[in-house]
Amino acid sequence: MTNLHTELKESIIEQLNLEDMDPADISNDEPLFGDGLGLDSIDALELIVLLEKDYGIKLTDPAQGKEIFVSINQMAQFIEENRTK
Amino acid sequence: MGNKIYINGIGIVSAQEEDLFSEGFASTYYENIFPVISPNYRDFIKPMALRRMSKAIKMGITSAKIALKEAEIEVPDAIITGTGEGCKQDTEKFLENMLDQNEKLLTPTSFIQSTHNTIGGQIALNLGCKNYNVTYTQNSVSLETALLDAQMQFDEDPFLNSILVGGVDEISEKITSFRKLDGQLKSVPIKNLDLLKEDSTGTITSEGAYFFALSNKRKENTYAEIQNVSIKNTIPPEKINEEIEAFLETNKLDPADIDTMILGMNGDNRYDYFYKNLQQKLFKNTTQLAYKHLVGDFDTASGYAIYLAGNILKSGKIPSILKLNDIESKAPKNILIYNQYLGRDHSLILLSAF
Protein backbone atom coordinates (compact mmCIF):
# COMPACT_ATOMS: atom_id res chain seq x y z
CA MET A 1 0.00 0.00 0.00
CA THR A 2 1.44 3.37 -1.02
CA ASN A 3 1.36 6.56 1.01
CA LEU A 4 -1.27 7.85 -1.39
CA HIS A 5 -3.58 4.94 -0.55
CA THR A 6 -3.30 5.65 3.19
CA GLU A 7 -3.63 9.40 2.70
CA LEU A 8 -6.73 8.87 0.57
CA LYS A 9 -8.35 6.60 3.15
CA GLU A 10 -7.62 9.11 5.92
CA SER A 11 -9.12 11.96 3.85
CA ILE A 12 -12.23 9.94 3.02
CA ILE A 13 -12.75 8.98 6.68
CA GLU A 14 -12.41 12.62 7.75
CA GLN A 15 -14.37 14.22 4.91
CA LEU A 16 -17.25 11.76 5.02
CA ASN A 17 -17.36 11.52 8.84
CA LEU A 18 -16.89 7.76 8.80
CA GLU A 19 -16.77 7.61 12.58
CA ASP A 20 -15.18 4.59 14.23
CA MET A 21 -13.30 3.64 11.04
CA ASP A 22 -9.57 3.35 10.56
CA PRO A 23 -7.71 3.29 7.23
CA ALA A 24 -7.06 -0.40 7.88
CA ASP A 25 -10.82 -1.06 7.83
CA ILE A 26 -11.03 -0.07 4.14
CA SER A 27 -9.52 -2.54 1.65
CA ASN A 28 -7.92 -1.19 -1.48
CA ASP A 29 -10.20 -3.12 -3.82
CA GLU A 30 -13.42 -2.85 -1.77
CA PRO A 31 -16.28 -1.12 -3.64
CA LEU A 32 -16.78 2.36 -2.17
CA PHE A 33 -20.47 2.48 -3.12
CA GLY A 34 -23.26 -0.07 -2.82
CA ASP A 35 -22.43 -3.25 -0.97
CA GLY A 36 -18.88 -2.24 -0.03
CA LEU A 37 -18.33 0.84 2.07
CA GLY A 38 -21.95 1.89 1.42
CA LEU A 39 -21.32 5.46 0.29
CA ASP A 40 -24.14 7.37 -1.42
CA SER A 41 -24.67 10.17 -3.94
CA ILE A 42 -23.95 12.97 -1.45
CA ASP A 43 -20.64 11.27 -0.67
CA ALA A 44 -19.88 11.23 -4.42
CA LEU A 45 -20.22 15.02 -4.46
CA GLU A 46 -17.92 15.26 -1.44
CA LEU A 47 -15.33 13.09 -3.24
CA ILE A 48 -15.45 15.33 -6.33
CA VAL A 49 -14.66 18.33 -4.11
CA LEU A 50 -11.91 16.34 -2.37
CA LEU A 51 -10.19 15.55 -5.70
CA GLU A 52 -10.13 19.20 -6.68
CA LYS A 53 -9.15 20.58 -3.29
CA ASP A 54 -6.39 18.10 -2.41
CA TYR A 55 -5.05 17.06 -5.83
CA GLY A 56 -6.06 19.86 -8.20
CA ILE A 57 -8.16 17.51 -10.34
CA LYS A 58 -11.34 19.07 -11.69
CA LEU A 59 -13.91 16.60 -12.94
CA THR A 60 -15.76 18.30 -15.78
CA ASP A 61 -18.13 15.38 -16.28
CA PRO A 62 -19.68 14.11 -13.00
CA ALA A 63 -20.39 10.80 -14.77
CA GLN A 64 -16.61 10.17 -14.66
CA GLY A 65 -17.05 9.66 -10.93
CA LYS A 66 -18.64 6.28 -11.59
CA GLU A 67 -15.40 5.00 -13.09
CA ILE A 68 -13.05 6.72 -10.67
CA PHE A 69 -14.77 6.10 -7.35
CA VAL A 70 -14.98 2.34 -7.80
CA SER A 71 -12.36 1.57 -5.15
CA ILE A 72 -9.34 3.09 -3.38
CA ASN A 73 -7.06 1.42 -5.94
CA GLN A 74 -8.94 3.00 -8.81
CA MET A 75 -8.98 6.43 -7.18
CA ALA A 76 -5.27 6.30 -6.36
CA GLN A 77 -4.41 5.34 -9.96
CA PHE A 78 -6.54 8.19 -11.35
CA ILE A 79 -4.95 10.68 -8.95
CA GLU A 80 -1.41 9.59 -9.83
CA GLU A 81 -2.14 10.02 -13.54
CA ASN A 82 -3.93 13.36 -13.29
CA ARG A 83 -2.83 15.25 -10.20
CA THR A 84 -1.64 18.85 -10.58
CA LYS A 85 -0.57 19.26 -6.95
CA MET B 1 -61.87 22.87 17.83
CA GLY B 2 -63.85 20.00 16.33
CA ASN B 3 -62.30 16.56 16.62
CA LYS B 4 -60.66 15.37 19.78
CA ILE B 5 -56.85 15.18 19.74
CA TYR B 6 -55.03 12.85 22.09
CA ILE B 7 -51.33 12.68 22.91
CA ASN B 8 -50.56 8.97 22.65
CA GLY B 9 -46.78 9.12 22.61
CA ILE B 10 -44.08 11.53 23.76
CA GLY B 11 -40.38 11.54 22.91
CA ILE B 12 -37.98 14.12 24.25
CA VAL B 13 -34.29 14.97 24.25
CA SER B 14 -33.60 17.74 26.75
CA ALA B 15 -31.10 19.06 29.27
CA GLN B 16 -32.83 17.01 31.96
CA GLU B 17 -32.92 13.29 32.57
CA GLU B 18 -36.32 11.67 32.19
CA ASP B 19 -36.42 10.57 35.83
CA LEU B 20 -37.76 13.94 36.96
CA PHE B 21 -41.11 12.31 37.70
CA SER B 22 -39.79 9.20 39.40
CA GLU B 23 -36.77 10.56 41.27
CA GLY B 24 -37.40 14.30 41.30
CA PHE B 25 -33.72 14.75 40.43
CA ALA B 26 -32.77 17.80 38.34
CA SER B 27 -29.51 18.37 36.48
CA THR B 28 -27.60 21.49 37.45
CA TYR B 29 -25.70 23.78 35.09
CA TYR B 30 -23.48 26.76 35.83
CA GLU B 31 -23.35 28.18 32.30
CA ASN B 32 -25.97 30.30 30.56
CA ILE B 33 -25.79 28.13 27.42
CA PHE B 34 -25.93 24.40 28.09
CA PRO B 35 -26.42 21.31 25.90
CA VAL B 36 -28.92 18.46 26.10
CA ILE B 37 -28.15 15.14 27.75
CA SER B 38 -27.60 13.11 24.59
CA PRO B 39 -29.06 9.63 24.37
CA ASN B 40 -27.19 6.95 22.45
CA TYR B 41 -28.27 8.07 18.97
CA ARG B 42 -26.99 4.80 17.48
CA ASP B 43 -29.90 3.04 19.12
CA PHE B 44 -32.22 5.00 16.81
CA ILE B 45 -30.25 5.89 13.66
CA LYS B 46 -28.05 3.73 11.43
CA PRO B 47 -24.34 4.70 11.68
CA MET B 48 -24.02 5.50 7.95
CA ALA B 49 -26.92 7.95 8.20
CA LEU B 50 -25.87 9.28 11.59
CA ARG B 51 -22.39 10.30 10.49
CA ARG B 52 -23.42 13.44 8.66
CA MET B 53 -26.28 14.56 10.90
CA SER B 54 -26.04 17.63 13.07
CA LYS B 55 -27.45 17.57 16.58
CA ALA B 56 -30.86 19.00 15.65
CA ILE B 57 -31.44 16.16 13.20
CA LYS B 58 -30.22 13.49 15.61
CA MET B 59 -32.36 14.86 18.44
CA GLY B 60 -35.37 15.21 16.14
CA ILE B 61 -35.25 11.69 14.71
CA THR B 62 -34.59 10.14 18.13
CA SER B 63 -37.46 11.92 19.90
CA ALA B 64 -39.79 11.30 16.95
CA LYS B 65 -39.05 7.57 17.01
CA ILE B 66 -39.55 7.35 20.78
CA ALA B 67 -42.95 9.10 20.48
CA LEU B 68 -44.09 6.89 17.60
CA LYS B 69 -42.94 3.70 19.31
CA GLU B 70 -44.88 4.60 22.43
CA ALA B 71 -47.99 5.29 20.35
CA GLU B 72 -47.42 2.08 18.37
CA ILE B 73 -47.36 3.94 15.06
CA GLU B 74 -44.89 2.96 12.34
CA VAL B 75 -45.62 5.66 9.78
CA PRO B 76 -47.71 8.71 10.75
CA ASP B 77 -50.24 10.31 8.38
CA ALA B 78 -48.39 13.63 8.67
CA ILE B 79 -45.19 15.06 10.12
CA ILE B 80 -45.35 18.67 11.29
CA THR B 81 -42.24 20.26 12.75
CA GLY B 82 -41.65 23.58 14.46
CA THR B 83 -38.19 25.10 14.74
CA GLY B 84 -37.27 28.66 15.62
CA GLU B 85 -33.76 28.70 14.20
CA GLY B 86 -33.40 25.40 12.34
CA CYS B 87 -30.14 23.60 11.72
CA LYS B 88 -27.75 26.27 12.99
CA GLN B 89 -24.71 24.01 13.28
CA ASP B 90 -24.71 23.14 9.57
CA THR B 91 -25.51 26.75 8.66
CA GLU B 92 -22.42 27.87 10.56
CA LYS B 93 -20.28 25.12 9.06
CA PHE B 94 -21.34 26.08 5.54
CA LEU B 95 -20.75 29.80 6.11
CA GLU B 96 -17.34 29.12 7.67
CA ASN B 97 -16.40 26.93 4.67
CA MET B 98 -17.45 29.74 2.34
CA LEU B 99 -15.14 32.14 4.12
CA ASP B 100 -12.23 29.69 4.46
CA GLN B 101 -12.45 28.51 0.84
CA ASN B 102 -13.08 31.96 -0.59
CA GLU B 103 -16.48 30.77 -1.85
CA LYS B 104 -14.88 27.97 -3.89
CA LEU B 105 -14.84 24.17 -3.54
CA LEU B 106 -17.72 24.03 -1.12
CA THR B 107 -18.82 20.61 0.07
CA PRO B 108 -22.53 19.89 -0.26
CA THR B 109 -23.47 18.16 3.00
CA SER B 110 -23.62 21.15 5.36
CA PHE B 111 -25.43 23.23 2.71
CA ILE B 112 -28.06 20.55 2.09
CA GLN B 113 -28.60 20.10 5.82
CA SER B 114 -28.63 23.76 6.77
CA THR B 115 -32.26 24.33 5.82
CA HIS B 116 -34.92 24.46 8.51
CA ASN B 117 -37.00 21.64 7.01
CA THR B 118 -34.11 19.17 7.09
CA ILE B 119 -35.31 17.79 10.43
CA GLY B 120 -38.81 16.92 9.21
CA GLY B 121 -37.34 15.63 5.95
CA GLN B 122 -34.83 13.39 7.68
CA ILE B 123 -37.52 11.99 9.99
CA ALA B 124 -39.60 11.16 6.91
CA LEU B 125 -36.60 9.54 5.17
CA ASN B 126 -35.82 7.51 8.27
CA LEU B 127 -39.43 6.29 8.55
CA GLY B 128 -40.05 5.95 4.82
CA CYS B 129 -42.96 8.36 5.23
CA LYS B 130 -44.21 10.10 2.07
CA ASN B 131 -47.16 11.84 3.71
CA TYR B 132 -47.82 15.54 4.44
CA ASN B 133 -44.62 17.09 5.80
CA VAL B 134 -44.41 20.75 6.78
CA THR B 135 -42.03 22.79 8.92
CA TYR B 136 -43.00 26.04 10.65
CA THR B 137 -40.56 28.71 11.70
CA GLN B 138 -42.31 31.33 13.82
CA ASN B 139 -39.83 32.31 16.52
CA SER B 140 -41.07 31.18 19.94
CA VAL B 141 -44.45 30.02 18.62
CA SER B 142 -42.98 27.61 16.05
CA LEU B 143 -44.11 24.48 17.89
CA GLU B 144 -47.50 26.04 18.67
CA THR B 145 -47.94 26.83 14.96
CA ALA B 146 -47.18 23.20 14.15
CA LEU B 147 -49.83 22.17 16.71
CA LEU B 148 -52.35 24.55 15.14
CA ASP B 149 -51.71 22.97 11.76
CA ALA B 150 -52.20 19.51 13.27
CA GLN B 151 -55.47 20.72 14.77
CA MET B 152 -56.64 21.97 11.35
CA GLN B 153 -55.51 18.78 9.60
CA PHE B 154 -57.57 16.67 12.00
CA ASP B 155 -60.56 18.99 11.53
CA GLU B 156 -60.29 18.95 7.72
CA ASP B 157 -59.56 15.30 7.06
CA PRO B 158 -61.73 12.68 8.77
CA PHE B 159 -59.46 9.89 7.47
CA LEU B 160 -56.38 11.14 9.33
CA ASN B 161 -55.51 8.93 12.26
CA SER B 162 -52.10 10.02 13.42
CA ILE B 163 -49.94 13.12 13.19
CA LEU B 164 -46.40 13.45 14.48
CA VAL B 165 -45.86 16.99 15.77
CA GLY B 166 -42.72 18.32 17.35
CA GLY B 167 -40.36 21.16 18.06
CA VAL B 168 -36.58 21.14 17.69
CA ASP B 169 -33.85 23.70 18.26
CA GLU B 170 -30.12 23.25 18.73
CA ILE B 171 -27.39 25.47 20.13
CA SER B 172 -24.46 26.47 17.95
CA GLU B 173 -21.27 28.27 18.76
CA LYS B 174 -21.80 31.54 16.90
CA ILE B 175 -25.53 32.01 16.28
CA THR B 176 -26.58 31.13 19.84
CA SER B 177 -24.03 33.57 21.20
CA PHE B 178 -25.73 36.34 19.19
CA ARG B 179 -28.49 36.11 21.82
CA LYS B 180 -25.92 37.17 24.39
CA LEU B 181 -24.78 40.10 22.24
CA ASP B 182 -28.43 41.13 21.96
CA GLY B 183 -28.88 41.07 25.74
CA GLN B 184 -31.22 38.07 25.63
CA LEU B 185 -28.96 36.05 27.96
CA LYS B 186 -27.79 36.89 31.49
CA SER B 187 -24.54 38.86 31.45
CA VAL B 188 -22.83 36.58 34.02
CA PRO B 189 -23.12 32.79 34.38
CA ILE B 190 -25.75 31.65 36.88
CA LYS B 191 -26.88 28.33 38.33
CA ASN B 192 -29.85 27.19 36.24
CA LEU B 193 -31.90 26.16 39.27
CA ASP B 194 -31.62 29.74 40.61
CA LEU B 195 -32.98 31.28 37.40
CA LEU B 196 -36.33 32.30 38.86
CA LYS B 197 -34.73 33.93 41.92
CA GLU B 198 -32.73 36.27 39.67
CA ASP B 199 -33.73 39.91 39.36
CA SER B 200 -31.82 40.84 36.22
CA THR B 201 -32.25 41.05 32.47
CA GLY B 202 -31.86 38.10 30.11
CA THR B 203 -32.27 34.38 30.57
CA ILE B 204 -30.42 31.08 30.06
CA THR B 205 -30.68 28.94 26.95
CA SER B 206 -30.28 25.37 25.84
CA GLU B 207 -31.55 23.06 23.10
CA GLY B 208 -33.96 20.16 22.77
CA ALA B 209 -36.40 18.13 20.73
CA TYR B 210 -39.96 17.30 21.76
CA PHE B 211 -42.16 15.13 19.57
CA PHE B 212 -45.75 14.13 20.20
CA ALA B 213 -47.67 11.35 18.49
CA LEU B 214 -51.18 12.76 18.17
CA SER B 215 -54.27 10.82 17.28
CA ASN B 216 -58.02 11.29 17.16
CA LYS B 217 -58.34 7.95 18.93
CA ARG B 218 -57.74 7.43 22.60
CA LYS B 219 -55.56 4.57 23.78
CA GLU B 220 -55.00 2.92 27.11
CA ASN B 221 -51.72 4.76 27.61
CA THR B 222 -52.89 8.16 26.32
CA TYR B 223 -51.29 11.09 28.16
CA ALA B 224 -53.82 13.85 27.68
CA GLU B 225 -56.25 15.52 25.33
CA ILE B 226 -55.20 18.73 23.60
CA GLN B 227 -58.24 20.95 23.94
CA ASN B 228 -57.02 24.04 22.14
CA VAL B 229 -54.04 26.13 21.05
CA SER B 230 -53.91 29.88 20.59
CA ILE B 231 -51.23 32.26 19.34
CA LYS B 232 -51.14 36.05 19.57
CA ASN B 233 -48.19 38.05 18.38
CA THR B 234 -48.92 41.04 20.59
CA ILE B 235 -50.86 41.46 23.82
CA PRO B 236 -50.65 44.69 25.85
CA PRO B 237 -49.43 43.75 29.37
CA GLU B 238 -52.57 45.13 31.03
CA LYS B 239 -54.77 42.96 28.77
CA ILE B 240 -53.18 39.58 29.49
CA ASN B 241 -55.81 38.53 32.08
CA GLU B 242 -58.63 39.49 29.69
CA GLU B 243 -57.05 37.64 26.78
CA ILE B 244 -56.76 34.44 28.76
CA GLU B 245 -60.29 34.74 30.12
CA ALA B 246 -61.55 35.13 26.55
CA PHE B 247 -59.55 32.05 25.45
CA LEU B 248 -61.00 30.02 28.32
CA GLU B 249 -64.49 31.24 27.50
CA THR B 250 -64.19 29.91 23.94
CA ASN B 251 -63.41 26.55 25.54
CA LYS B 252 -66.40 26.86 27.91
CA LEU B 253 -64.15 27.13 30.95
CA ASP B 254 -63.50 29.79 33.53
CA PRO B 255 -60.22 30.41 35.39
CA ALA B 256 -61.38 28.36 38.38
CA ASP B 257 -61.55 25.29 36.11
CA ILE B 258 -57.81 25.48 35.49
CA ASP B 259 -56.18 23.61 38.32
CA THR B 260 -52.60 23.84 37.09
CA MET B 261 -50.90 26.63 35.18
CA ILE B 262 -47.50 26.08 33.54
CA LEU B 263 -45.77 29.40 33.01
CA GLY B 264 -42.86 30.10 30.67
CA MET B 265 -41.11 32.38 33.21
CA ASN B 266 -37.48 32.74 32.20
CA GLY B 267 -36.02 35.05 34.86
CA ASP B 268 -35.86 38.09 32.55
CA ASN B 269 -37.10 40.93 34.74
CA ARG B 270 -38.03 42.97 31.67
CA TYR B 271 -40.83 40.62 30.62
CA ASP B 272 -41.73 38.27 33.47
CA TYR B 273 -44.45 40.73 34.54
CA PHE B 274 -46.74 39.06 31.99
CA TYR B 275 -46.58 35.94 34.14
CA LYS B 276 -46.62 37.76 37.48
CA ASN B 277 -49.76 39.57 36.44
CA LEU B 278 -51.50 36.23 35.97
CA GLN B 279 -50.01 34.74 39.13
CA GLN B 280 -51.35 37.59 41.22
CA LYS B 281 -54.77 37.92 39.59
CA LEU B 282 -56.49 35.35 37.40
CA PHE B 283 -54.63 32.30 38.68
CA LYS B 284 -53.78 33.31 42.24
CA ASN B 285 -55.63 30.24 43.58
CA THR B 286 -54.19 27.88 40.97
CA THR B 287 -51.16 25.59 41.20
CA GLN B 288 -48.42 27.48 39.35
CA LEU B 289 -45.48 25.72 37.76
CA ALA B 290 -42.35 26.78 35.85
CA TYR B 291 -39.80 24.78 33.84
CA LYS B 292 -37.26 27.03 32.13
CA HIS B 293 -34.92 26.82 35.14
CA LEU B 294 -34.57 23.16 34.10
CA VAL B 295 -34.27 23.30 30.31
CA GLY B 296 -33.48 26.94 29.52
CA ASP B 297 -35.41 29.16 27.14
CA PHE B 298 -35.30 28.71 23.38
CA ASP B 299 -37.85 28.95 20.60
CA THR B 300 -39.39 25.50 21.07
CA ALA B 301 -38.83 25.14 24.84
CA SER B 302 -42.59 25.06 25.43
CA GLY B 303 -42.44 21.47 24.18
CA TYR B 304 -41.06 20.63 27.62
CA ALA B 305 -44.16 22.19 29.18
CA ILE B 306 -46.37 19.93 27.03
CA TYR B 307 -44.27 16.94 28.10
CA LEU B 308 -44.71 17.98 31.75
CA ALA B 309 -48.45 18.59 31.36
CA GLY B 310 -48.96 15.20 29.68
CA ASN B 311 -47.09 13.39 32.43
CA ILE B 312 -48.84 15.33 35.21
CA LEU B 313 -52.26 14.54 33.75
CA LYS B 314 -51.35 10.90 33.27
CA SER B 315 -49.65 10.28 36.62
CA GLY B 316 -51.32 12.88 38.83
CA LYS B 317 -47.85 13.69 40.20
CA ILE B 318 -46.22 17.12 40.18
CA PRO B 319 -42.45 17.19 40.85
CA SER B 320 -41.81 19.76 43.57
CA ILE B 321 -38.96 21.37 41.62
CA LEU B 322 -41.57 22.80 39.23
CA LYS B 323 -43.72 24.51 41.86
CA LEU B 324 -43.95 28.26 42.15
CA ASN B 325 -46.54 28.26 44.95
CA ASP B 326 -47.89 25.94 47.64
CA ILE B 327 -51.38 25.42 46.27
CA GLU B 328 -52.03 21.71 45.94
CA SER B 329 -53.65 20.19 42.89
CA LYS B 330 -54.55 16.65 43.94
CA ALA B 331 -55.99 15.35 40.68
CA PRO B 332 -55.12 17.82 37.91
CA LYS B 333 -57.78 17.87 35.21
CA ASN B 334 -57.16 21.01 33.16
CA ILE B 335 -53.67 22.40 32.58
CA LEU B 336 -53.03 25.68 30.81
CA ILE B 337 -49.59 26.43 29.36
CA TYR B 338 -48.77 30.09 28.77
CA ASN B 339 -45.59 31.30 27.11
CA GLN B 340 -44.14 34.47 25.59
CA TYR B 341 -40.65 35.62 24.62
CA LEU B 342 -39.40 39.20 24.90
CA GLY B 343 -43.00 40.29 25.48
CA ARG B 344 -44.05 38.95 22.08
CA ASP B 345 -45.38 35.73 20.55
CA HIS B 346 -47.83 34.76 23.27
CA SER B 347 -49.16 31.22 23.20
CA LEU B 348 -51.73 29.24 25.13
CA ILE B 349 -52.09 25.46 25.09
CA LEU B 350 -54.95 23.87 26.97
CA LEU B 351 -54.65 20.20 27.89
CA SER B 352 -57.07 18.02 29.82
CA ALA B 353 -57.30 14.65 31.42
CA PHE B 354 -59.90 12.49 29.70
Q: Which of A19-28, A57-66, B145-154 has the lowest mean pLDDT?
A: A57-66
Q: Which residues on adjacent β-strands are paired with residue B165? A: B80, B212
Is residue A1 pLDDT above 80, yes or no?
A: no
The fold adopted by the segment(s) B224-352 is: Peroxisomal Thiolase; Chain A, domain 1 (3.40.47)
Give the per-residue pLDDT at B11. Answer: 98
Q: Does B48 touch chain A (CB under 8 A)?
A: yes
Mean pLDDT of all residues belonging to chain A: 90
Q: First CA to last CA across chain A, in angstroms?
A: 20
A46 vs B47: CB contact, 8 Å cut-off? no
A46 vs B48: CB contact, 8 Å cut-off? no
Cβ contacts (< 8 Å) between A32 and chain B: which residues? Answer: none
pLDDT class for A41, splitting at 50, 70, 90? confident
Give the per-residue pLDDT at B141. Answer: 98
Task: Give the count of Cβ contacts less than 8 A between chain A and B.
Answer: 27
What sign does the CA torsion over B74, B208, B237, B351 have?
Answer: positive
Low-confidence ranges of chain B (pLDDT < 70): 1-2
Alpha carbon of B108: minimum distance to chain A alpha carbons (Å):
7
A49 vs B105: CB contact, 8 Å cut-off? yes
CA gap B60, B52 in Å, rounded? 14
Q: Residue B112: closest CA among chain A residues belongs to which residue?
A: A42
The fold adopted by the segment(s) B5-215 is: Peroxisomal Thiolase; Chain A, domain 1 (3.40.47)
Give the per-residue pLDDT at A76. Answer: 96
Cβ contacts (< 8 Å) between B93 and chain A: which residues? Answer: none
Give the per-residue pLDDT at B108. Answer: 86
Q: Does B98 touch chain A (CB under 8 A)?
A: no
Cβ contacts (< 8 Å) between B51 and chain A: which residues? Answer: 16-19
CATH 3.40.47.10 location in chain B = 5-215, 224-352
Give the per-residue pLDDT at A61. Answer: 82
Q: Residue B42: closest CA among chain A residues belongs to which residue?
A: A19
Q: Does B51 touch chain A (CB under 8 A)?
A: yes
Give the per-residue pLDDT at B1. Answer: 56
Percent of chain A with pLDDT over 70: 99
Burial of residue A74 (CB within 10 Å: 0-12, 13-18, 19+) is middle
- Domain A3-82: CATH superfamily is ACP-like (1.10.1200.10)
Instruction: Pick from A11, A46, A49, A57 the residue to mutate for testing the B interface (most B CBs within 10 Å).
Output: A49
Q: First CA to last CA across chain B, in angstroms?
A: 16
